[in-house]
Structure formats: structure tokens, C-alpha cells
Amino acid sequence: MAEEVVDRKVLLSKIGTFFIVISLFAVIVFIASDVSRNDTGRKAGATQTYIVAAVQALQTRDTGAALAASQNLPTPTLAPVSTTAVTDDTLLYFPAFCLGSVGLLAGWFFKRISAPPHVPSNRFEGLRKMQQKQREAKAKKEAAKKEKEKKK
């Protein structure tokens, strides 16, 4: 019967360790994505890319318009492009943070319930012994006083 309890505690401890490791990985992924999203160098490069693409689109439109005008065709128009879908990926990694936090709590819980019982430390054992000796000495003095009073 005792072996079964020990095996269960070992299994719970291993499950807790698994949750903690996987959750730490998820939190690290969230932090790395947050840092890379806020990197000013990367933002500058992305902004430069958007500017170049916009200039090329305008040049293509102008060239197409000139060509269409010479052939008496309708002029082309630019379709608006949403850049927020490309640059704003905050919500994509937020579940990793949430799952990582919940996993850390679950892992800590499993490790905690599988831990051995707490044994009091011997840190203040010397102080406890000194206090006990003082109590015993005080009790002896009081007993000696009582005996002297009885003899009188």
C-alpha cells in the first residue's frame, strides 16, 4: 500500500515538472514575440519596405494611367491595403501567455501536493534549549522559595 502512494507522488511530481517546463516555454515564446514586435530596428526596416512598396505602386499606377490615357481606356486605381493585419500580431501570442501562466500554476500545484511533509528545521534549536533551561531554573527557584516558606 505504501509503494502505491509513493508511485503516485512521483507521478504527480513528474506531471508538475512537465507543466512547468512547457509553460515556461510558452511564456518565453510570448516574451520573445513581444520583444521582436517592439524592436525599433525591425520596425524601421518594415516601414522602409512599406514606403518602397507604396512608391512602386504609385509609379505603376501613374505609368498605367499614362498608357490607358494614350489608348483611351479607363485609368487604374489603387486598392487600399491594410497594414495592421501584418504588423499587429499581439493577440496571436496572448493565448501562449495565458496558457503558460495557467500551466505554471498547475505545475506548481502538482509539485506542491507531491512534496514530502515539512520537517521543522533546527535553525533556532539553541534558542529553544536556552529558553527551556531558563524556565527550569526559574521553576527550581520558585520551588526552593516555597520549601523555605514551609519550613518557617
Placement of cell 490615357 in the chain? 69
| pLDDT tens per residue, range 112-137 | 998 887 777 788 888 889 999 999 99
pTM beyond 0.85, yes or no: no
| pLDDT tens per residue, range 7-47 | 888 888 999 999 999 999 999 988 888 777 776 666 655 56
Mean pLDDT throughout 130-151? 92
Torsion angle of C-alpha atoms 129, 132, 136, 142, degrees rounded to 10: 140
Q: Calculate ∠ Cα 10-13-14, nearest 5°.
A: 90
Q: For position 45, what pLDDT does the model report?
A: 59
